Structure 1
Amino acid sequence: MESVETRELRYFVAVAEERHFGRAAERLGMAQPPLSRAVQQLERRLGVSLLDRDRRGVRLTGAGETLLHEGRAALDAVTAAARRTRRAGAADARDGRGDRLVLAVKAGFSHELLHKLLDAHAAEPDAAEIEVVPSGLCEQAGMLRDGRADVALMHTPFNSLSGFDSEELLTEGQVVVVPAAHPLAARRSLRVAETVGIPDLPLARWSRHGLYPPGPGPEIHDQTQLAQLIALGRTAAVVPESARAWLWAEHTAVPLSDAPPVVTHIAWPAHSRSRALAALIRTATRL
């Protein structure tokens, strides 16, 4: 069987995600007829039906679901290879070395741990340059897969570590951050059930891949927005204990007595063979 071209995968993934040839063509910046022909040609070459078509749009077959999952991973791998190669080339041009790493971290999380890690790493001989990139609540996995990051600090149970190698670095409790003037701020601790359904203080809703869980709370895009809305008495948020580092005077963090612990991991792509990354991991595990 012939191999599948990257261009064909991009075409198919666009159609599969949009569930419509017209919208996919617009997203790709091309006409619909050649897009339809390209997908039909891909089906003939693979010998399977990928899509069920009707006037309303398209529906994925079982084979189509498989190719969508595998195709996304393949496209991410191609993009990651290009990004990491460009980073290495830029480092070579600058100082003759390609040992530069991008570390993705959630804004406001694991502040003390991150500070210790960077200081310890910088003290190592021939330490690689580390670029710290703050990310959204659940962005780290995508950044590792598509090459925007080489390594990340991730937190279970919030993040999935599937497909990555990782080491545990820190275990901590959770707190609920409420406005300092709210009656709940006077409590010494709360149970998780007490944070749900508070009429005047709905929990913030974080985006995952552009989608938000149902509920009355505001849609949150970044940490600054979250901090401001809590200070204004519009929302509350459940976060790890280490997030106290970014609290304002208008905030109060109340421990959650029955919340599961949060474990901070350092995670990286399982196929990585970077010596600079290996050195960073060794430093992290020593902490």
Structure 2
Amino acid sequence: MESRPLRYFVAVAEELNFARAAERLGISAPPLSRAIRKLEADLGVTLLERSTHSVALTAAGSVLLSEARGALEALHAAGRRAQRASGPDAKLVLAVKADGYGGLLDTILARFAADPAARPVTIRLSGWGEQVHLLRQGEADAALVYDPFDSTDLDTEPIFVEPRQAVLPAAHPLAARDRLTLADLALPGVEPGNLAGLGQYLDSTVEQHGFIDLAQLLAHVELGDLVTLLPESVTVRYPRPGVVYRPVVDVAPATLSIAWPQKSCSVATAALVRAATSVVA
């Protein structure tokens, strides 16, 4: 398969409308329809169920949509990595969320610099949840990221495990308690042992309020808009008069990992991973 029919198919599968997909691709609908029918003929499967008023994915179409997205993303990432490697001063790019590295970044970089395979590092500061996206897009060689996150097509190694703490407005009734449980907090979908539920709650909180950094999150907590959870290392670095931090006895700990593309052959990236994991030891 070539990339163009895959790109065409993804547009139709996401829009479920040939006219909108054609507009998005900058082509007319008839050649788009012919390209999809040829793709179906080449594969010997029906990808889309068409009627006069609707377009729907078949089971085969749903599978191809998932695989095609990954394939197109990998092609784009390969091009970006090649471009970044071609410069005379090529640098290793490490994606890090501001204040999302457990206070270990300087130590990791110092140990990496002592490795014979080391090369200059550019720190790519990212927003909430962007580190993994930067890896898949070829914009970064490695990333420091707290779980939970989607590790599909990535290799990961844990660096540091620490408790999570509840983040409460100072006036909250639970702020008077020394220790809390998840039942006390009653966060939607967050239960002991359910890391996926915790991740969904944290992601939905950021999406709902449109946070771009930690300062905004803490300001909303102080105003009484929400209660959340943060790694202990973050709470230590950010005391705030209107916010209190309390241990939660039954919440899963926060694991900081280093992640990198599974197909990476970079000796320098491997050296950075060694430096990061040596911090654990």
SS in 1 for 2:151: coil
Corresponding residue for residue 230 of structure 2: 239
Q: CA deviation at 1:106?
A: 2.9
Structure 1 residue 188 and structure 2 residue 174: aligned? Answer: no
Corresponding residue for residue 155 of structure 1: 146
Corresponding residue for residue 74 of structure 1: 71
Return the structure number with greater relative CO, CA threshold 8 A, min gap 6: 2
Q: CA deviation at 1:80?
A: 0.6
Equivalences for residues 1-287 of structure 1 within 5 A: 4-90=1-87, 92=88, 95=89, 98=90, 100-125=91-116, 127-156=118-147, 158-196=148-186, 206-207=202-203, 212=204, 218-223=208-213, 224-244=215-235, 245-287=237-279
Comparing 116-125 and 236-245, the one that deviates more: 116-125
Q: Distance in 1 between matches of 2:253 and 2:187?
A: 22
The TM-score, its normalising length taken from structure 2, stands at 0.84
SS in 2 for 1:284: helix
Q: Distance in 2 between matches of 1:247 and 1:107?
A: 16
Q: CA deviation at 1:234?
A: 1.3
Comparing 14-23 and 251-260, the one that deviates more: 14-23
Tell me which stretches of 4 or more aligned residues in structure 1 moved more than 6 Å.
none
In percent, how many aligned pairs have the same letter? Answer: 44
Question: Cα gap change, 1:27/1:218 in structure 2, threshold over 3 Å: closer, same or farther?
Answer: same
Question: Cα gap change, 1:249/1:111 in structure 2, threshold over 3 Å: closer, same or farther?
Answer: farther
Q: CA deviation at 1:111?
A: 3.7
Question: Cα gap change, 1:13/1:268 in structure 2, threshold over 3 Å: closer, same or farther?
Answer: same
Residue type of the alignment partner of 1:108: D
Say if 2:101 and 2:145, in contact at 8 Å, map to a contact too. no
Q: CA deviation at 1:18?
A: 2.0
Q: CA deviation at 1:126?
A: 6.1
Q: Deviations over 1:82-117 (max 9, x none)?
A: 111111123x2xx4xx3x222122333224122321
Q: Distance in 2 between matches of 1:112 and 1:153?
A: 11
Comparing 77-86 and 222-231, the one that deviates more: 222-231
Q: CA deviation at 1:149?
A: 1.6
Question: Cα gap change, 1:115/1:193 in structure 2, threshold over 3 Å: closer, same or farther?
Answer: farther
Alignment coverage as a number of residue pairs = 266
Say if 1:227 and 1:247, in contact at 8 Å, map to a contact too. no
The TM-score, its normalising length taken from structure 1, stands at 0.83
Residue type of the alignment partner of 1:252: V
Residue type of the alignment partner of 1:222: I
SS in 2 for 1:194: helix
Q: Distance in 2 between matches of 1:178 and 1:83?
A: 42
SS in 2 for 1:112: coil
Corresponding residue for residue 195 of structure 2: none
Say if 2:117 and 2:267, in contact at 8 Å, map to a contact too. no
Comparing 29-38 and 257-266, the one that deviates more: 29-38
Q: Distance in 2 between matches of 1:173 and 1:236?
A: 17
> Structure 1: where are the runs of 5+ without partners?
none
Q: Distance in 1 between matches of 2:162 and 2:244?
A: 18
SS in 2 for 1:70: helix
